[in-house]
Structure 1
């Protein structure tokens, strides 16, 4: 689960260090919401898996929308390595597009944030930290991750390319909320979130052995989503960008 948001043109360019802090914080809080609400749901509704998923998905929808609105003007609110790479790819011919040299730093802080968020959720609920034993890497789960990630990329960049960036926060949150239910994997759609969730052996956890396959599926999904964006919206809007205010080399 991840996304992006643009800042208004009036916001001054943000230094890279500030944007990296926002990406770390946003990804950490996103995973905290996902894992923490999963733990709470399992404790509050121990005998009803459907209700647990409803509680988990509802908290994630609200938390994700808030994080995008809050941190989008600083970093673009990617919170997701495949969104970062897709942003670069889809804006690579734009002089003000996302810089390739910032991909690595973004991915590092997003991944670190994902781990930190899981550890924080574990600590708040006093469940201890251990690797998850929840195996998820079946063929149907991997297919679901391809679909979930392709859809996420399409939602984000369809809005960006049609100058409807104000809708990104509610639209992405709504999509992730829906994808919790229409995908068998419950829509991770985010390598950093996948990495973080393996550090919590709770409702939202994923076994480390399942993570590599999930990440590959997410990369494939992002590639498909990006190709569909290019096919459906070939002319990129001049403004705004998912990384508005970013200085470029």
Structure 2
């Protein structure tokens, strides 16, 4: 990523997160409209576009910023020493702002009030555990392929999130920026603001545990493998 400026990298994180949230919220609205009250069909209509857009966005923007779109991912690469504190903070701010922008765009496309507060309750130990598991799996899905097949990360992340929508009780937010942004949408994919903090805490715990597991699991020859430039990473090589 040496050929990209800090401004370009931050803009890529903002744009990617915005497009991700526009997809999550928009497909949720469309799925709910077309499903005739069948929540399983609505969830399927929400799942497939989300997995697909992740593959597209990571493929497109990984060479620029690493395609994190997720403060938990940026935090992991900061802890690995591959993203400095200044850029990590800038990435996270861009992700949070981009997430909110994506929500507003989705609402605008469906002629809904732009700014809303979700009333959808998502709470309880099962959902908190689900968010920890979802984020744990996501981080391993990113760090594992970076050892041998970095170009596979985009597809792996898209497929993992597609699966996690269905095997987790929380439908796999696995992203603090996504969680915060979805609090501002009183639609199918929303989350009540009171439930945001426990979700984020569970996500951060899952991410840290995954980092520790990856540091051992993917260690070869006494050294932890690092991420090549073409995969999602946070290398400060400017």
Which of the five TM-score ranges fits, normalised by the shorter chain? over 0.9
Q: How far did residue 36 of structure 1 move?
A: 0.2
Task: Tell me, yes or no, if structure 1 residue 149 matches structure 2 residue 135.
Answer: yes
| Correspondence for 1:214 | 199
CA displacement, residues 1-58 of structure 1 (integer Å, 9 cap, x when unaligned): xxxxxxxxxx642111100000000001000000000000010113210011111000
Kept in 2: contact 1:15–1:247 (CA 8 A): no
Displaced runs of 4+ in structure 1, greater than 4 A?
Answer: none
CA-atom RMSD in angstroms: 1.4
CA apart distance, 1:181: 0.2
* Gap regions ≥5 residues in structure 2: none
2:167 alignment partner, one of 166, 179, 182: 182
Deviations 1:101-158 (A, max 9, x none): 2111111010001111111101100121310001102111100000000000011011
Could you say what secondary structure the match of 1:30 adopts?
A: helix
Give the alignment's TM-score, normalised by structure 2: 0.93
Aligned to 1:137: 123
Specify the alignment match of 2:38 in structure 1: 48
Work out the CA distance in 1 between the residues paired with 2:38 and 2:175: 27
Asked if the contact 1:199–1:205 (Cα under 8 Å) also holds between the matched residues in 2, the reply is yes
Q: Distance in 1 between matches of 2:226 and 2:14?
A: 28
**Between Structure 1 and Structure 2, how many residues are aligned?**
232
Counterpart contact for 1:73–1:244, Cα < 8 Å: no
Q: 2:47 aligns with which of 40, 57, 75?
A: 57
Q: What is the deviation of 1:236?
A: 2.6
Say yes or no: does 1:32 pair with 2:22: yes
Q: TM-score, normalised by structure 1?
A: 0.89
Q: In 2, Cα distance between the equivalents of 1:57 and 1:64?
A: 11
